[in-house]
Amino acid sequence: MTTLPATTQKQLGLVIDLDTCVGCHACVINCKEWNTSGYGTALSDQDPYGANPTGAWLNRIHTFEVLQESQNSGGKPAGQGVGEVIGTAGEARVVHFPKSCLHCEDAPCVTVCPTGASYKRAEDGIVLVDEDMCIGCGLCAWSCAYGAREMDLAAGVMKKCTLCVDRIYNEDLEEVDRQPACVKTCPAGARHFGDLADPMSDVSILVKDRGGFDLMPEQGNKPVNKYLPPRERTSLAASAPMAMPEAPIEADGLLGWVDRLLSGGASSGKGVN
Amino acid sequence: MHPAPSVIAFTTLSGAGYGLAFVLALGHGNPAFTSTKIAWFVALALIAIGLLCSTLHLGNPQRAWRAFSQWRSSWLSREGVMAVLTFVPLTILTGMSVFGDTFHLGLGYVGGIMAAITVYCTAMIYASLRTIPQWHTGWTPACYLMFSMTSGTVLYLSLFGWPAGTQSNDRWVMLAIVFLIVSWGFKFMWSRRALSVGYGDSTMESATGLGHLGKVKLLERPHAMGNYLTNEMAFRVARKHLSKLGWIEIVLGAVVPIVLLAVSSLIGGGFGQFLQVVALMSLMGGLFVERWLFFAVARHAVGLYYGGDEALVPAE
Amino acid sequence: RADIRLSRGSEILGAHDVKLNGPVGEKHSTTCYMCACRCGINVYLKPDENGVKKVRYIEGNRDHPVNKGVLCAKGSAGIMQHYSPARLNAPMKRVGPRGSGEFEEISWEEALTIATDWMEPLKADPKKLAFFTGRDQSQSLTSWWAQQFGTPNYAAHGGFCSVNMAAAGIYTIGGAFWEFGSPDWDRTKMFVMFGVAEDHDSNPIKMGIGKLKKNGGRFVSVNPVRTGYSAVADDWLGIKPGTDGLLILSVIHELFRTQKIDIDYLLRYSNAAFLVIDAPGTAEHGMIARDKDGVELVWDSAKKKAVPHTTKGVAPNLTSAVMATINRKKVAAKPVFMLMAEEYTKAEYAPENIAPRTGIDAATIAGLAAEIARVAFEEEITIEQEWVDMKGEKHDRFIGRPVSMHAMRGISAHSNGFQTCRALHVLQVLIGSVDCPGGFRCKPSYPKPYTAHPKPHAKNAKGTTGPLAGPHLGYPHGPEDLALDADGNALRIDKAFTWDAPLSAHGMMHMVIANAHAGDPYKIDTLFMYMANMAWNSSMNTRGTIEMLTDKDAKGDYIIPHIIYSDAYRSEMVAYADLILPDTTYLERHDCISLLDRPCSEPEAVVDSIRWPVVEPDRDVRGFQSVVLDLGARLGLPGMTNEDGSAKYKDYADYMVNHERKPGIGPLAGYRGEKGDKAGRGAPNPDQLERYKANGSFSMTHLPDEALFFKHANKAYQDFAVDMGFFDAPQPVTFNLYLEVLQKFRLAAQGHGDVQPPDRIRDRVARTFDPLPVWYAPFEGEDLGDRTDNEFPYHALTQRPMAMYHSWGSQNAWLRQIHTKNPLYVPASICDAKGLKDGDWAWVTSWHGKIKVQIARMDAVNADTMWTWNAIGKRRGAWELDKDAPEATKGFLLNHLINELLPPKKDGYRWANSDPITGQAAWYDLRVNIERAPEGEGVSEPVLGHQKRRRPAKEELRYGLEWTK
Ligand SMILES: Nc1nc2c(c(=O)[nH]1)N[C@H]1C(S)=C(S)[C@@H](COP(=O)(O)OP(=O)(O)OC[C@H]3O[C@@H](n4cnc5c(=O)[nH]c(N)nc54)[C@H](O)[C@@H]3O)O[C@H]1N2
Ligand SMILES: Nc1nc2c(c(=O)[nH]1)N[C@H]1C(S)=C(S)[C@@H](COP(=O)(O)OP(=O)(O)OC[C@H]3O[C@@H](n4cnc5c(=O)[nH]c(N)nc54)[C@H](O)[C@@H]3O)O[C@H]1N2
Ligand code: SF4
Ligand code: SF4
Ligand code: SF4
Ligand code: SF4
Ligand code: SF4
Ligand SMILES: [Mo]
């Protein structure tokens, strides 16, 4: 195939930290806000004040619940100890899951495009749609396993995350602001932007340290964007056997330790300093 | 996948058109007969109507010409290119028949093969999509090609109205019945696979990468109402409708045509001819349902982000 | 400027040239008001094809101390709010019946004349005017206005919001979570959060959690529901609602048991050593022993006598009952610490005994305590920085216990909320983590002891008219400060500061409509409200509230005769008012976020900020604050009128700059003095607003390095605070482990003193006003008795969606797509027991009402608790939404199930569904049951009429199209 660059000089993309994303949708709305009057045509909304409001978005947050197999049907009877402390040390949990274009290395959305409107840039790997060439056939959206492409119903052209190409190279913006809108706005700092082809970049290091993974590797798209998994949890119960008092309470009464402390004797807990 | 009427119309009509063209292009039908002239014309018309239909679902049909450019990688582009190229020999052959009462076998072979390739390209648009395991199989082009041949043949048969009882009519009826059986056999293989592959190798766990933590389930959609993706790709029919439609498809598309064709060949005459036309209508109806189901049973990977089958609200 | 050419990667088909759209636009910095967090924003304006400047983009202001460049979903959707079709266009006079939404647009002159005509006569009996401002960021203006009018009836929304949190904090540590303090995000190593879905500090909490994660800290969330913040917590404790007090006291039990308490810290900063008189049955019992000058006494172990706690070098006793001679009387007394130890070491607080009631297993409770203690004491951090405390002692360093906590309505919106919030603060003090590195830090002008706050005022300075003697709201020190007349009747319409809610420091806005309707304690004439959707999501018992607003007397007149309301949008409340004063959007007006109000400081810097008209209004609307000043001048109110009767302030901007509360102290603290070089105190500066604008619309004054921690006892800080004008003399805080104020009320209930509660309430006061934190069962469950377990075995809650602000978000084309409707999330176990599955409809009932809703199944939730997103449900036609909008047909309010009163008692009296101490609305005490319902029309119930819309909705929105060409 000639239409995907064999390699790209850079692989710009996002690293999304599922351990930190609180599902606030800031990135979703800021993305829309920036892009509706940015690259390409406006991101339209249909029936915005009506009974079925929908619109074109380049980034969306899904919320998943992850159930341990043992308890995914029915939960445990109420009030039975650990049964209700669902979650300490990894039982049913909720994961907020942001998703936008992953700027795949083997992007099927580019090769299926009949017009050449879809393309992947050789210099940085960004996958874009040239809206002036797009006929709105929708095939690229069909070919994307991640649901990262959405047709703008008003303009009849395909929209997708541009990696804020009109920010990251935009010399009208201050240098610190030359990053995607969603990354800049994310309050929790769960989104990171950088060059994943450079093993020394912050994002590459993050991916390495935190075990960043690909979505649906079996689809063979080689996504550039990576996801960082929720961290391992340790249960509080494991800390339970707290260091026992140095002297048993009985020795000098309930508050003997305080007296000893105040008289400058043995210290435990926290002494006078 | 959401069955779009324009795409259903396109694939079934142009499929029949290409099938008929294929039959004609192999030299069947006396080019001097009016019925042959009409047949050529019908073939071209069906192809053209189908192609027109296919532009209906484009957001910007005025730029459709651009779709010819990416034939090196895109099956859709190849289909477009092939469709246009195929018009050349088929139009010439039509002209030869209509105006010159002649036919050219060499050109016929070229046109016939090109017609088949066009149908193959159409099928490959679907079959090449990894995201939709139901489609991503050799059975998809096999079915498209067979259905095209079958509907072309039945169309040919009903257009010509060979006097029933003649040898050649019986031969064509035999052929049509064989085609019908083979295509539905292919379709049976396709469906059996389709109904069991689900989302293929992909699961909600692989989609989210959270499998190591447990079983993943959708708690909340990103936006409360539907969107382009869910409307287009996260479509699902209720089981009960599925089996009902499955029966309709078989009855209209296979049982009725086979019985009617067989009967037509037994009784012959005008009524036999009429039965062949009914068989054609029934077959086309069956194919519409078949094509609707082709979409409706297909699962797109993106559905996994919207909760997989359990969470997709079935269309009534 | 060169267009940036974006070249195509592959060789075929020529280049895809993409033109950028030039610069983003003109940049103006102001302050967000898509919620109360007050982030700094840059608003970019760009002309459209007609040359009219429109908002192109709103981003977080990187230099702003609150949000440092980030912007939440709501803030990012500001464009859609600003251009919302639901904006009000002009003043309006009601022409249809209340609730119909039928209005006639009128001129401002007519509107202000009507308002003045209604109010002018009330100056003779000012309490007939009730002025309640909901989500008000100008309370220092509005309260001052009400004070000048002379009505005792003023408050903002705190009473139904989170006064438990605020009051418990102020009374205990002189600061509060809420917006008044925050974890030391950069240094904390363990963060424990109770009952927070979002909170006012929206962006800072998210930024903080991000930092904590980056630094490898541990995050524990206690919450029945595991979404949002709880979803990313390292440990999630899915507690049973209303039982956090028990959990916290159990942790305290463990700390006592294992001797993990910062004794030194307690001695220095708390009343742990204060002697409490032990003389049961007397009026002194439980009072703190004081010398004749009123200084609290401690027991000097060395000298064996009671001495003032301020005595130099005293080594106070903490552990023994003593017999002291105080003011020449022999008195038995115990130090506070000993009382605590006696109480909290009881077996009833042991984790294994608490576990069944909280639904959290004993090992987890013990583990929580152990981790808190371990991190606090074993991961101590120090900052090498000399500082001097209020006793003059010099310290070489700040010592930090890096455990921080935060809590909000999950613990405060219960009838036991005040005591639970207090328990939490006491826990913080016990481990020495208040205002230390890595702990919880106050934001200046906090800490400020309750004694430095005003007391409540409900009487006129002179006679029965004219200005009030002082501010309405404050912190009572005892029964003598209640707002009662000589016969013990409530002076205020909301009955704040009465025996029903003695410490209702924020007033009780949620009782106003019910009381005004009942004429109890008296009838009012005009209800004047601002920015509160009282006919809908901010009221309990929404249907009942609507009935009260529309109820008529025998003559056919509305029982509440006049309702004036200021909103910016066509909310539900608009339909129920008679006169509408349309406000601007937040991008069109002057505003000030003042230190006299709810400050927006950071722990290390004093911050205040402004808003200004970045865009001029294109409608006939006016900023409410300017309108209030205008009304004040028309009514001739003191302070707002010149001697010749003309208006003193042209508008709010004029007031912001020139008003002085005290000489040199005005609404804005930055750029004061003629040259604009003074912070805090200084003469008005005519150039002040320009200076703010040039500085991103905020001013920031850093604390000196030696003043950064232990502000409650830090000399450098206290001096700084005096310089800034927070107070006129230093106001160090002694942390009240033991809250004597409560004991005073309790003694009154036990028959001591001049001001005593009515008999019906004595027991309750005696039981709940414990000077040491206690836990008691939430009232709704308790009052229902057997019915609780049999009929209403479950809890139901709401949570704030991060991408919506109460009811405002639904008019916002972008935000509403996220939460177009709200399901009720039901625990899997209940679904299975009741045969419910995703998408089913169900009846949910409480003792008060019933609603029909659609459910969704969920596992990561406390097994007895169902929940939904707050305030998504809308009345049909409100907010200019289609009548079939899912918000109205599928969305719902839980409020229909909650009553402002508890079920009747045996004597027929109905208590408020509130905290007995502060009057905080007990939203989360709700008990419910659930049954499958036939789908029917698939519409949520009840359906409460509909509101007239102005125009059909736009079918398509392509915002920004003009700039993409
Ligand atoms: N079930 C349930 N009910 C609850 C709660 C809960 O958790 N659960 N929470 C409670 C709490 S804590 C609170 S604070 C209340 C909040 O309840 P409200 O304070 O009533 O909340 P809002 O919906 O924000 O309504 C404020 C009104 O201000 C208007 N407004 C917005 N911007 C402007 C403006 O610029 N100028 C003017 N003049 N008006 C404007 C809006 O249009 C709206 O009508 O809800 C309470 N109700
Ligand atoms: N985006 C957004 N931000 C807002 C607002 C908004 O409407 N939208 N509103 C603002 C206002 S007015 C306020 S008052 C604040 C409120 O801020 P929050 O207090 O965060 O608001 P709530 O949504 O009431 O969250 C209460 C949380 O406590 C939990 N909870 C309920 N009962 C209990 C209990 O008994 N124990 C424990 N441990 N947890 C419990 C609930 O599950 C929920 O997560 O938010 C402010 N910020
Ligand atoms: S995520 Fe989808 S749209 Fe983006 S590059 Fe990959 S396949 Fe293409
Ligand atoms: S929709 Fe546009 S970009 Fe996508 S495949 Fe069709 S022409 Fe290409
Ligand atoms: S990189 Fe830009 S376009 Fe892509 S999701 Fe983020 S904000 Fe949207
Ligand atoms: S802004 Fe950040 S925290 Fe919020 S949803 Fe997006 S990625 Fe998650
Ligand atoms: S938290 Fe969001 S809505 Fe609230 S002030 Fe900040 S940016 Fe605005
Ligand atoms: Mo609130």
C179 alpha carbon, closest ligand: 2
- Rounded to whole angstroms, what are the CA distances from C535 to C545, C567, C878? 6, 13, 11
CB distance A181 to ligand 5 below 6 Å: yes
Closest Cα in chain A to C359: A79
Pick from C89, C567, C899, C915 the residue to mutate for probing ligand 1's pocket: most ligand atoms within 8 Å of its CB. Answer: C567
Residue A134, sorted as left (phi over 0), alpha (psi -120 to 50) or beta, turns out to be: beta
pLDDT digits (tens, 9 = 90+) for C311-340: 988 989 999 999 999 888 999 999 999 999
From C337, C332, C334, C325, select the one nearest C292 (Cα to Cα).
Answer: C325
DSSP state of A129: E
Cα distance from N-terminal residue to C-terminal residue, chain C: 18
For the residues C433-442, what does the mean pLDDT come to? 98
Residue C29 bridge partners (DSSP) = C42
- Rounded to whole angstroms, what are the CA distances from C366 to A237, A241, B82, C247, C250? 7, 8, 74, 10, 8
Strand C275-277 relative to strand C297-300: parallel, antiparallel, unpaired? unpaired
Q: Which residues of B touch A53 (CB under 8 A)?
A: 225
pLDDT over 70 at A74, yes or no: no
- Touching check for C817 and chain A: CB below 8 Å? yes
From B241, B246, B251, B247, select the one nearest B283 (Cα to Cα).
Answer: B251
Pick from A99, A105, A146, A216 the residue to mutate for probing ligand 3's pocket: most ligand atoms within 8 Å of its CB. Answer: A146
Strand C794-799 relative to strand C824-827: parallel, antiparallel, unpaired? unpaired
Least confident residue range of A205-209, B165-169, C681-685, C706-710? B165-169
| Per-residue exposure over C478-496, b if at least 16 CB sit within 10 Å of its own CB, e if not | bbebbbbeeeeebbbbbbb
Least confident residue range of A174-188, B127-141, B156-170, C602-616? B156-170
From C249, C246, C195, C185, select the one nearest C220 (Cα to Cα).
Answer: C195
Return the CA Rg of chain C.
Answer: 28
Would you call the peptide bond into A245 cis, given omega within 30 degrees of 0 as the criterion? Answer: no
From C690, C654, C688, select the one nearest C141 (Cα to Cα).
Answer: C654
For the residues C472-478, what does the mean pLDDT come to? 97
How far apart (Å, rounded) are the C-alpha atoms in residues A79 and C678?
60
Q: Which residues of C touch A116 (CB under 8 A)?
A: 12-13
**Backbone dihedral angles phi then psi of residue B39, each to the nearest 5 degrees:** -60, -45
For the residues C135-154, what does the mean pLDDT come to? 96
Residues C930, C936, C938, C944, Cα dihedral to 10°:
-80
pLDDT over 50 at C155, yes or no: yes
Amino acid at position C241, single letter: P
DSSP state of C465: E
Burial label, C397 (beta-carbon count in 10 A; 0-12, 13-18, 19+): middle
Amino acid at position B80, single letter: G
How far apart (Å, rounded) are the C-alpha atoms in residues C105 and C127?
30
Burial label, B239 (beta-carbon count in 10 A; 0-12, 13-18, 19+): exposed
Q: Which residues of A touch B130 (CB under 8 A)?
A: 108, 143, 145, 219-220
Look up the ipTM and state it: 0.96
At B35 the pLDDT is 87
At C1 the pLDDT is 31
Please, which chains are in contact with A (at least 3 CB pairs closer than 8 A)? B, C
Of A95, A113, A134, the CB nearest to B60: A134
Closest Cα in chain B to C821: B224
CB distance A164 to ligand 5 below 6 Å: yes
pLDDT digits (tens, 9 = 90+) for C641-651: 999 999 999 99
**CB spacing of B225 vs C818 below 8 angstroms:** no
Residue B205: helix, strand or coil by DSSP? helix
DSSP H or E segment with residue C924: none
Q: Which atom in ligand 4 lies closest to the alpha carbon of residue A141?
A: 4
Cα distance from N-terminal residue to C-terminal residue, chain B: 14
DSSP H or E segment with residue B6: helix B5-25
List the residue whose alpha carbon is closest to atom 6 of ligand 3.
Answer: A104
Least confident residue range of A147-156, A204-213, B2-11, C387-396? B2-11
How far apart (Å, rounded) are the C-alpha atoms in residues C911 and C914?
8
Of B69, B310, B311, the CB nearest to C13: B69
**CB spacing of B223 vs C820 below 8 angstroms:** yes
- Touching check for B313 and chain C: CB below 8 Å? yes
**CB spacing of B58 vs A137 below 8 angstroms:** yes
CB-based contact C339:C320 (threshold 8 Å): no
- pLDDT tier, B313 (very low <50, low <70, confident <90, very high otherwise): low
Q: Which residues of C touch B223 (CB under 8 A)?
A: 817-818, 820
**CB spacing of A42 vs C211 below 8 angstroms:** no
How far apart (Å, rounded) are the C-alpha atoms in residues C252 and C238?
19
Residues 6+ apart with CB under 8 A from C51: none
pLDDT digits (tens, 9 = 90+) for C530-587: 999 999 999 999 999 999 999 999 999 999 999 999 999 999 999 999 999 999 999 9
- pLDDT tier, A71 (very low <50, low <70, confident <90, very high otherwise): very low
Q: Among all chains, which residue has been given the structure tokens 């909490």?
A: C205
For the residues C199-216, what does the mean pLDDT come to? 96
For the residues B104-113, what does the mean pLDDT come to? 96
Q: Among all chains, which residue has been given the structure tokens 């703008």?
A: A152
CB-based contact C807:C874 (threshold 8 Å): yes
At C345 the pLDDT is 95
CB distance C42 to ligand 7 below 6 Å: no
Burial label, C686 (beta-carbon count in 10 A; 0-12, 13-18, 19+): exposed
Amino acid at position C189, single letter: K
Q: Which of residues 849-908 of C touch B (CB under 8 A)?
A: 856, 858, 886
Chain A nearest-CA distance from C118, in A, is 37
Q: Which two tokens stand for residue C304?
A: 């064996």
pLDDT digits (tens, 9 = 90+) for A108-150: 999 999 999 999 999 999 999 999 999 999 999 999 999 999 9
pLDDT over 90 at B6, yes or no: no
At C649 the pLDDT is 98
The pTM score is 0.96
**Cα C139–C144–C148 angle (5° rounding)?**
150
C42 against C178, higher pLDDT: C42
pLDDT over 80 at C149, yes or no: yes
**CB spacing of A142 vs B233 below 8 angstroms:** yes
Relative orientation angle of helices B139-160 and B5-25, to the nearest 10 degrees: 60
CB-based contact C479:C473 (threshold 8 Å): no
Residues A207, A208, A211, A217, Cα dihedral to 10°:
70
If you measure from the C-alpha of residue C920 to the centroid of ligand 2, how many angstroms do you get, rounded to a whole number?
14
B127 against A245, higher pLDDT: B127
Burial label, C948 (beta-carbon count in 10 A; 0-12, 13-18, 19+): middle
CB distance C99 to ligand 2 below 6 Å: no
- pLDDT tier, B267 (very low <50, low <70, confident <90, very high otherwise): confident
Q: Which of residues 21-40 of A touch B (CB under 8 A)?
A: 28
Q: Which of residues 850-889 of C touch A (CB under 8 A)?
A: 858-864, 880-882, 884-886, 889
Q: Which residues of C touch A45 (CB under 8 A)?
A: 813-814, 817, 956-959
**Cα C447–C450–C451 angle (5° rounding)?**
115
How far apart (Å, rounded) are the C-alpha atoms in residues A18 and A228?
6
DSSP state of C708: S
pLDDT digits (tens, 9 = 90+) for C230-278: 999 999 999 999 999 999 999 999 999 999 999 999 999 999 999 999 9
Least confident residue range of A42-56, A57-71, C138-152, C599-613? A57-71
CA-based torsion, C915, C920, C925, C928: positive or negative: positive
At C179 the pLDDT is 80
**CB spacing of C359 vs A25 below 8 angstroms:** no
pLDDT digits (tens, 9 = 90+) for B146-155: 999 999 999 9
From A248, A79, A260, A88, select the one nearest C371 (Cα to Cα).
Answer: A88
List the residue whose alpha carbon is closest to atom 30 of ligand 2.
Answer: C410
Q: Which atom in ligand 1 lies closest to the alpha carbon of residue C569?
A: 42
- Touching check for A210 and chain B: CB below 8 Å? no
At C9 the pLDDT is 38
Residue B170: helix, strand or coil by DSSP? helix
- pLDDT tier, A202 (very low <50, low <70, confident <90, very high otherwise): very high
Strand C103-105 relative to strand C129-133: parallel, antiparallel, unpaired? unpaired
Q: Which of residues 204-233 of B touch C (CB under 8 A)?
A: 219-220, 222-225
A126 alpha carbon, closest ligand: 3
At A89 the pLDDT is 36
Residue C418 bridge partners (DSSP) = none
**CB spacing of B305 vs A111 below 8 angstroms:** no
**CB spacing of B225 vs C819 below 8 angstroms:** no
pLDDT over 90 at A69, yes or no: no
Least confident residue range of A252-261, B21-30, C71-80? A252-261
Name every protein residue with a CB atom under 6 angstroms from any ligand 6 atom: A 21-27, 61, 96, 98, 186, 188, 190-191
- Percent of chain A clearing pLDDT 90 (strictly above): 70
A49 against C13, higher pLDDT: A49
How far apart (Å, rounded) are the C-alpha atoms in residues C503 and C745?
10
pLDDT over 80 at B28, yes or no: yes
E strand segments, chain B: 215-220
- pLDDT tier, C21 (very low <50, low <70, confident <90, very high otherwise): low
If you measure from the C-alpha of residue C914 to the centroid of ligand 8, how many angstroms do you get, rounded to a whole number?
15
Pick from C162, C200, C580, C807 the residue to mutate for probing ligand 1's pocket: most ligand atoms within 8 Å of its CB. Answer: C807
Relative orientation angle of helices C351-358 and C244-257, to the nearest 10 degrees: 170
pLDDT digits (tens, 9 = 90+) for C812-830: 999 999 999 999 999 999 9
E strand segments, C186-328: 190-194, 218-222, 235-237, 275-277, 297-300, 305-308, 322-326
From C436, C623, C505, C401, select the one nearest C161 (Cα to Cα).
Answer: C505
How far apart (Å, rounded) are the C-alpha atoms in residues C820 and C817?
5
Residue C579: helix, strand or coil by DSSP? strand
Please, which chains are in contact with B (at least 3 CB pairs closer than 8 A)? A, C
- pLDDT tier, C782 (very low <50, low <70, confident <90, very high otherwise): confident
Closest Cα in chain B to C822: B224
Chain B nearest-CA distance from A111, in A, is 5
Would you call the peptide bond into B74 cis, given omega within 30 degrees of 0 as the criterion? Answer: no
If you measure from the C-alpha of residue A158 to the centroid of ligand 6, how many angstroms do you get, rounded to a whole number?
24
Average pLDDT, rounded, for chain C: 95
At C2 the pLDDT is 32
pLDDT over 70 at C229, yes or no: yes
DSSP string computed for C155-180: E-THHHHTHHHHHHHHHHHS--STTT
Chain B nearest-CA distance from C14, in A, is 12
- Touching check for C821 and chain B: CB below 8 Å? yes
Chain B nearest-CA distance from C366, in A, is 26
- Percent of chain C clearing pLDDT 70 (strictly above): 98
